[in-house]
Amino acid sequence: MSGDRPSTVPTAAGDSGGQSSEPVDRGVGVRDRVLVLPSVICSRAVADRIADRVPGAVSAPHDHGCGQIAADAAQTRRAFLGIGTNPNVAGTVVVGLGCESIQSDDVAAALAERDVPVREVAIQDAGGTDACVEAGVEAAEDLRAADPPADPDLSDLTVGIVSGDLTDSTRGVADPLVGAFVDDLVDAGGRAVVAGSERVAAHPDAAAESAASEEVADSLRAVADRQRDRPARATRVSAAADEVDFTVATRAWGSGPLGDVLDYGERATEPGVSVVDAPSRFAEAATGLVAAGAQVVVHVTGEGVPTGHPVAPVLKVSADRETLAAVGDDIDVDATAATVDDLTEAVAAVAGGRPTRAQDHGLTSTAITRVGPSM
Amino acid sequence: MDTFSGYRRPDGRVGVRNYVAVLPVSVSASPVASAVADDAGAWARATPHQMGTSQPEAGRERTRTVLAGIGRNPNVGAALVVALGTEDLDSEALADDIAASGKPVETLSVREAGGTRAARERGVDRLDALYDEIRDQPREDADASELVFAVECGGSDATSGIAANPAVGAAADALVEAGGAVCLSETPEFIGAEHVLAERCVDEETRERLLDRVDRREQLADLMGTDLRGAQPSPGNQAGGLTTIEEKSLGAVAKAGTTPVREVVDYGEAIPVGGGLTVMDSPGYDVESVVGKVAGGAQVAAFTTGRGSTTGNPIAPVIKVTGNPRTAERMASNMDVDVSGVLTGESIPAAGERVAATLLSVADGARTAAENRRLEEFAINERQPVELAEEP
Amino acid sequence: MKGETVGEAVLVMADDDTVATALEDLEGGREIPTDPPLTVAETIEFGHKVALVDHEAGETVRKYGEPIGEATDPIERGEWVHTHNCESARGRGDRAGADAGDGLSEADQT
């Protein structure tokens, strides 16, 4: 095919995806996986097939990467970079088609600048899907990790927190349990990244008051502004958040001040609790939390959403008795019976290598939050 | 263009494949749906997507419309609707809607089954039972006029408008002449060429709808505060010589042929069978666009590509047509029809005949390259909050 | 196909087009037997466009007998015409956003 590779979609002037591509201290991984990351839906099948062939590799298939512009394209690109930078990732093979809006070689170059071991393959470069799978397998085998995962302390951990609903049992039992864990985590020197920005949008003043600084307060208000006059993505949670106060709506975030606000896809750099601008939709939120650097995700689910995430182990916590009875096999922690110490022990065990229920059944999603329509 | 043989469904429509569709109603149910389809067999086709368990009403309605349309597509002989069990979208009602077309439909709730593992087992059992009801259905003769032919372009380059799209357009004309239906979508790819289509609309109402849809799509760029470049044309389009959306569009509309535009339908809405050329409003984003037309009832798609798109669809065979000789050679294993000869003298009518012949043989059961590789991309065009905020 | 091939080198889709499409990679210096003959000014890849006439900045570029964009700079006959010197007149949300409130905050621009 003639010509150089096309250049990635232009976003706003000067945009590099919202965060500079410089070497980062990625922290300690609790899993050690080669990530096969499709840059577009068109290459997701190839990414899956590559990951299937290489032991220890996982793929992160999604529905996006083309037909996107401006803030929407920038956010998806940020999410790619964030996922690829997560410390659980030993290295990343970026798989593209070749003609898409968010170009695979551009994503790979940005990851390389962050010192992430990376390779890139593309279907059109390789000469078809079959050839691309072979090239991708070779690339993934190149990256296969040597170091076994470390056994981290709480102080090494960034834990992602997403509470998927505001049902009675969640509000009354599960969120407070997780919030108490977050407090202990932060006391021990660990970090929490939390999702559910529709709760900030429901109570912008109270959110601003919980901020650790004026700057963070402004960022929280900006998050709320962006959602004003628009239907929320997590419709039920948003409606429920309107009915309770901010403290109740965000119990799972702990009792401490909110130390930072992260764009979706952005990596956490501050200690304490950082709010990720992600909706309370588990699959999308988990990706945002993983991109923020979470090695483990704690998911409060009254509904019993069983899905995991390819990059980080997800601990399911529920206090809903019907859910525990119906789908107990999919839940890690029964919040009606667990203490904070139990939850802490569970997180530590998972960080140390114990599989979660979601890892047992193996079903995962990699959804990405969109902020604009497909073109 | 004459006859083919296909599967006649209770509602009278004819399918070119005989699948059990596995339809998750949310992102939370999608991995289970994919897993049970994989476990059950190649005849089980899942349509995983990323729509939330709870969406704004307009978004939920869009999800429902698409899934109902897929379930009703005549390539689907039976369907299993899969839910977590807590979604806002009523999976029983969706199942009833699909069942109203006369085909067997069951539901599967992860919650009712007792969790993921149990749901997988129960799901396979239900799929096996559904397939038993349709597996022995024979193909029977059907008229070409019973085909709804989706036309799509992706990974376009300069050859698309010169060779592949006109060739597909010739086949489209032949099908319309035989009494069939053709569906063109990708509304942003009318921008700059909409007057070409507008002139061919059968009446004022249709013309106004068409221009309204183009206008709305163009305004989506305004909403995002930037121009369309990077999405329309894409980086690959530009590398392949397409400079502007106008240039891309003038080449793109050729794939719909030359017949009058009889109807303009919205994303996922039913395409009139035997209704000539219909335009469906959709984004240009390929996978979402093809899904919209399949939800509208298209049994087969022709997808032109210059740069080499490789995508397919779980429910409808997608025929890849390329007019780029380099792509035809390098990516032969992912292409179905090579019309690059048009650049060096093959006539468009002759190339169009080859596309038409492929259409009929694929309808009869010949597998496309994407089918052979089980390339079955699926995504639903989600109505975003920023769009919904603009609506009254 | 529609359009006319000239010298097996370029394809002119319609009579009043101001650009032609390269049917193979064209080297700078290549002579195309248009009327009058045209010298390709620079490398123009397969599928890309060569200017058949001079364009002033702002002038309409035509292909398929229709406008496909505007020259952003003066373009001389024989030059490569593409995104560096030709831009779309449609889908220009960047123009619309400048005066109309687009509903997006500063933060959304990153």
Look-up of token digits 């397919």: B312
Name chain C contacts of A225, Cβ cutoff 8 Å: 105
At B70-94, the pLDDT tens digits run: 999 999 999 999 999 999 999 999 9
Which pLDDT belongs to residue A150?
72
Residue whose pair of structure tokens reads 């962050």 in the numeric block: A114
Over residues A320-329, mean pLDDT? 97
- pLDDT above 80: residue C100: no
Q: How many CA atoms lie within 13 A of B47 on its CB side?
A: 37
Q: Would you mind telling me the total number of residues written for chain C in this entry?
A: 110
Reduced to 3 states (helix: H, G, I; strand: E, B; else coil), residue A16 is coil
Task: Report the C-alpha gap between B108 and B236 in whole angstroms.
Answer: 41
> Vertex A315, ends B380 and A143: CA angle to 5°?
75
Q: Do C1 and B250 touch (CB under 8 A)?
A: no
- pLDDT at B68 (0 to 100): 98
Residue B21, beta-bridge partner list:
B45, B79
| pLDDT (average), residues C66-80 | 97
Residues B270/B97, Cβ–Cβ less than 8 Å = no
Q: Can you give the pLDDT at residue C99?
A: 37
In eight-state DSSP terms, residue A43 is: G
Query: Could you write out the DSSP letters of every residue in B245-266?
Result: HHHHHHHHGGGG-SS-EEEEE-
CA distances from A311 to A80, A264, B183, C17 (A): 12, 16, 40, 53
Residues A19-49: tens digit of each pLDDT? 556 677 888 899 999 999 999 999 999 999 9
Contacts of residue B32, Cβ cutoff 8 Å, sequence gap at least 6: A306, A363, B24, B82, B108, B110, B116, B119, B120, B123
pLDDT reported for residue B217: 92
When pLDDT is averaged across residues A347-366 and rounded to a whole number, the result is 96
CA–CA dist A347, A341 (Å, integer): 10
Query: pLDDT by residue (tens digit) across A86-136?
Result: 999 999 999 999 999 999 999 999 999 999 999 999 999 999 999 999 999
Residue A183 has pLDDT above 80, yes or no: yes
Helix axes B30-40, B116-134, angle to 10 degrees: 50
Question: What residues of chain B, 242 to 281, have a C-beta less than 8 Å from chain A?
Answer: none
Cα dihedral across residues B80, B86, B90, B96: positive or negative:
positive
Point out the residue among C2, C64, C90 whose CB comes nearest to the CB of B218. C90
Q: What is the pLDDT of residues B195-245, one digit of tens each?
A: 999 999 999 999 999 999 999 999 998 889 888 877 889 999 999 999 999
Higher pLDDT, C72 or B391: C72
Q: How far is B239 from chain A (nearest CA, A)?
A: 5
pLDDT value for A330: 97
**Residues B298 and B313 sit within 8 Å (Cβ to Cβ):** no
Chain C, window 27-66: residues with a beta carbon less than 8 angstroms from a chain A beta carbon: 45-47
Q: Following DSSP, what letter does each residue of B328-374 receive, concatenated?
A: HHHTGGG-SEE-GGGGGT--HHHHHHHHHHHHHHHHHTPPPHHHHTT
Q: Is the pLDDT of residue B61 over 50?
A: yes
Whether B284 and A4 lie within 8 Å, measured CB to CB: no
Per-residue model confidence (pLDDT) at position B286: 97
pLDDT per position as a tens digit, B153-204: 999 999 999 999 999 999 999 999 999 999 999 999 999 999 999 999 999 9
Please list every residue in chain C whose beta carbon sits closer than 8 Å to the beta carbon of residue B241. 21-22, 45-49, 82
Q: Which tens digit of pLDDT belongs to each residue from B8-54?
A: 999 999 999 999 999 999 999 999 999 999 999 999 999 999 999 99
Q: What was the pLDDT predicted at C109?
A: 36
Whether A363 and chain B come into contact, CB under 8 Å, resolves to yes
B77 sits in which H/E element: strand B76-83
Q: How far apart are CA C52 and CA A223, in angstroms?
A: 52
pLDDT for residue C108 is more than 50? no
Q: Which residues of A104-140 are buried (b: 16+ CB within 10 A; e: fewer)?
A: bbbbbebbbbbebbbbbbbbbbbbbbbbbbebbbebb
Q: What are the backbone dihedrals phi and psi of residue A189, each rounded to the nearest 5 degrees, phi first?
A: 95, 5
pLDDT tens column, B279-329:
999 999 999 999 999 999 999 999 999 999 999 999 999 999 999 999 999
Question: What's the pLDDT at C107?
Answer: 34
**pLDDT, tens only, A282-315:** 999 999 999 999 999 999 999 999 999 999 999 9
pLDDT at A273: 98
Quote the percentage of chain B above a pLDDT of 70. 99
Alpha helical stretches, state H, B3-134: 30-40, 57-72, 91-99, 110-113, 116-134
